[in-house]
Amino acid sequence: MRNAALFLGLIGGLFGLLIGFFSFGYTEVIAQHGEVEGLFKQVADPQTIRAASILSPLLAIAGAGMVKVRALWGGALMALSALGMYFAFGFNAFTMFPISFLGLAAVMGLAAGKPDEPKAHF
């Protein structure tokens, strides 16, 4: 279960990295060059988008790396990452897979009460 959480969290984090890269870039381009009427406009809160663009993939990848040894901490970090992506970017065609992968990885990490290794978090 920990291996599955690791791989799902890593895949979700890498997809989240792509979403974060383009979201941060979009807000920066609009801030530098201005809005294009009817085509491109600035989001309501660009600082939230920028913070989530950096923090959510970072938490996902760190949680995935941590889940083998500390399943509770890794699962909690991946859950925070999924929630951050959901609240910042919403649930749409681009975010459905990273949020779903991270949510499932978080559940698997948190449910790893009887690990393969002798160190349990319960």
Establish if 60 belongs to a structural domain.
Answer: yes
Specify whether the CB–CB gap between 13 and 102 falls below 8 A.
yes
Establish if 6 belongs to a structural domain.
Answer: yes
* Calpha distance 71→56 (Å, rounded): 18
Establish if 67 belongs to a structural domain.
Answer: yes
Read off the pLDDT of residues 77-120 as tens digits, 9 standing for 90 and up. 999 999 999 999 999 999 999 999 999 999 999 998 665 555 65
Establish if 119 belongs to a structural domain.
Answer: no
> What's the domain count of the chain?
1
Establish if 118 belongs to a structural domain.
Answer: no
Establish if 12 belongs to a structural domain.
Answer: yes
The pTM (predicted TM-score) of the whole model is 0.87
**Averaged pLDDT of the chain:** 91
* Calpha distance 63→94 (Å, rounded): 21
